[in-house]
Amino acid sequence: MALYEHVFLARQDMSAQQVDALVEQYKGVIEANGGKVGRIENWGLKSLTYRINKNRKAHYALMDIEAPGAAIHEMERQMRINEDVLRYMTVSVEAHEEGPSAMMQKRDRDDRPRRDGDRPDRGDRGDRAPRESFGDRPRRPREDRA
C-alpha cells in the first residue's frame, strides 16, 4: 500500500468538535476501503492568505494515511461533495515523518530572527554632509508663489 499525507481545510464557523468528527468520518472511509490512518494532527484555526468562499480563516487538519489509491479517491470524492471542506491536498510520500509535523513544532525563540538585531550595522548617520552639497549643480533658490 502507498503512503500519503493529506491536509484539508474546514470552514471557520465549525467548532473543533465538528472538525474532529469530519476527521473521524474520513478515517472511517479510509479504513472501510482497506487502509489505515496513522498520525492525525489538528493544526487549529488559522488565517488564510486570501478568502476562500467568503472565509478568512479555516481549520487545518493533517492525516498520515497508508491506503490503496481507491480509498484515497473515495475520500477525496466525499470531500468534494461536503460543503464544510474548503480545500484538500493529498501528497504521496516515501515515508511518514516521525514526531510532530513542522506546523506543530515549537520554534525556539533563539532560532527566530530578531526585529532589530539582524540588520547589518549602518554606522553613525550623524556625519552626513548637508543636502546642498549633493549632486553636480547648485540648487536654485525657491520662488514663493502667491
* Whole-number pLDDT of residue 98: 82
- Alpha-carbon distance of 91 to 4, in angstroms, equals 5
pLDDT the model gives residue 37: 92
More confident residue, 112 or 44: 44
| pLDDT score for 142 | 79
Single-letter amino acid code for the residue at 81: I
Residue type, 77: R
pLDDT, one tens digit per residue, over 98-144 is 877 778 776 555 555 666 655 555 666 666 665 655 566 667 777 77
Closest Cα to residue 8, out of 50, 54, 46, 34? 46
Q: Of the candidates 32, 111, 17, which has an alpha carbon nearest to the alpha carbon of residue 74?
A: 32
In Å, what is the CA distance from 71 to each residue of 22, 35, 43, 62, 114?
A: 16, 7, 24, 17, 46
Q: pLDDT tens for residues 47-104?
A: 999 999 999 999 999 999 999 999 999 999 999 999 999 999 999 998 887 877 778 7
Q: What is the mean pLDDT of residues 13-42?
A: 93
Q: What SS3 state is found at 123? A: coil
Question: Which alpha helices (H) appear in 63-133, and where do they start and end?
Answer: 69-81
Q: Which fold has domain 2-95?
A: Alpha-Beta Plaits (3.30.70)
Q: Which of 58, 63, 64 is nearest to 86 (CA)?
A: 58
Model's pTM, two decimal places? 0.69
User: How far is Cα 88 from Cα 7, in angstroms, rounded to an integer?
Assistant: 6
Give the span between the Cα atoms of 58 and 47, in whole angstroms: 7
Condensed to tens digits (0 to 9), the pLDDT of residues 119-131 reads 555 666 666 665 6
